[in-house]
Amino acid sequence: MAMESAPHVKGYDAPCGLPIAETGGNRIMDRGCIWEIVSMSASKQAKRRTIKLYTIGSKMKTAEEFFTLLKDAKVRRVIDVRLENTSHLLSFTKVTHLRYLLREVGGIDYRHDPKLAPSKNILSTWKASKKTDIDWKRYKDHFIPVLEQRKIETLVTPDDLDHACLLCSEPAPENCHRRLVAEYLRDKWSDRVVVGITHL
């Protein structure tokens, strides 16, 4: 039975099992006389690093529940994405207490980044709404362009967010901008980083 001859490619004499050429975005491999074309994009995807990103809401949690969740998840940094971090009802989430407690309870760093928060106008409109699905869609349609305009993917890095936790006040992530921020960054960095998102 005749065996098909190997294609004539410059660099043909490379050792078996090593890439011998790259053409048209593909890598041609010699697998013991069996030629295989491996997608370069798949090869690059295999090299993407993975980071863990968490989010948490402070409402409807006791201080014990809040700090235990962060410690158990081995969070290294809390990034406060609330527009204001001084006027909330829960005293342990006010910045004057929160920074100290995070450091003492879990050795966790704290950072406030209002550029990851909605504008006052967007936030006040949402708070005044009935919070229906239509209201949430309107909120998203106004907030996502703000993130794009600010280019938040250039304001933080994957290293900043690895084992970090985005903090907001909403108890659940479904209708909270912290989820939108996490998913926006995941999608923006998808060509170089795999962002695993967990909502605490």
Each residue's pLDDT expressed in tens, for the chain with a length of 200 residues: 444 444 444 443 444 444 444 444 444 444 443 434 444 455 555 578 999 999 999 999 999 999 999 999 999 999 999 998 886 667 889 998 999 999 999 999 999 999 999 999 999 999 898 889 999 999 999 999 999 999 999 999 999 999 999 999 999 999 999 999 999 999 999 999 999 999 99
> How is domain 49-199 classified at the CATH fold level?
Protein-Tyrosine Phosphatase; Chain A (3.90.190)
In this structure, are residues 115 and 151 in contact, taking their beta carbons and an 8 Å threshold? no
Helix 133-150 × helix 120-128 angle, to 10°: 170
Residue with tokens 């900043």: 160
Q: List, by residue range, all CATH 3.90.190 domains of the chain.
A: 49-199
Residue with tokens 């005293």: 91
CA 170 to chain centre: 19
**pTM (predicted TM-score):** 0.76
